[in-house]
Structure 1
């Protein structure tokens, strides 16, 4: 996924943990669209204090350091 290595160690941890929670909140048919392999790009948004996660289907989620997403 583009941008993963540009994230710092803490941001990668937040991404990994939040993504796992995000996947756990989905039904099995939805999970297929949002696996790690479906992540196209990640980017740290300093202004909003979130990690922007763009999936191959065009969806954008913002992961927070509190382990939530929107």
Structure 2
């Protein structure tokens, strides 16, 4: 599986979670807002074992929790 460079450290399962939640998150936004949240705008992905989620950081400074249940906040 070819992974985004910022997510190469993730397991295959974590990477699939990232892609799945990213797709839902991205489709929930309007077209104008999506411009700031493309996959290439992801600058860092951190695993958070305590919260059982991924912290996904974007170029614009925003970051989101991508949770195992498929939600983001």
Alignment TM class, shorter chain as reference: over 0.9
TM-score (normalizing by structure 1): 0.95
CA offset at residue 37 of structure 1? 0.7
Unaligned runs of 5+ residues in structure 2 are none
Question: Aligned equivalents of 2:48 and 2:10: distance in 1?
Answer: 11
Question: Aligned equivalents of 1:37 and 1:30: distance in 2?
Answer: 14
TM-score (normalizing by structure 2): 0.91
Unaligned runs of 5+ residues in structure 1 are none
The structure showing larger relative contact order (alpha-carbon pairs under 8 Å, at least 6 residues apart) is 1
Question: Aligned equivalents of 1:8 and 1:21: distance in 2?
Answer: 20
Question: Aligned equivalents of 2:8 and 2:26: distance in 1?
Answer: 22
Tell me which stretches of 4 or more aligned residues in structure 1 moved more than 3 Å: none
CA RMSD, aligned part only? 0.7
